[in-house]
Amino acid sequence: MGADVTVLSQTSSKRADALGFGAVAHHATSDPAVFDRLARSFDLIVNTVSASLDFDAYLGLLDFGGTMVNVGAPPEPAPVTLFTLFTNQRSFAGSTIGGIAETQEMLNFCAEHGIVPEVETIRADQVNDAWERVLKSDVRYRFVIDASTLKGPSGATPA
Q: What is the pLDDT of residues 6-21, one digit of tens each?
A: 999 998 888 999 999 8
Q: Residue 144, Cα to own-chain centre: how many angstroms?
A: 17
- pLDDT tens per residue across span 40-83: 999 999 998 888 889 999 999 999 999 999 988 888 888 888 88
Residue 31: count other Cβ atoms within 10 Å of its Cβ.
Answer: 13
In contact, 71 and 51? CB cutoff 8 Å: no
- For residue 97, pLDDT over 80 is answered with no
The pLDDT value recorded for residue 9 is 92
Query: What is the DSSP-derived secondary structure letter of residue 157?
Result: P
Can you list the domains of the chain with their CATH numbers? Answer: 6-113 (3.40.50.720), 119-149 (no CATH)
DSSP 22-51: T-SEEEETTSTHHHHHTTT-EEEEEE---S
In contact, 146 and 123? CB cutoff 8 Å: yes
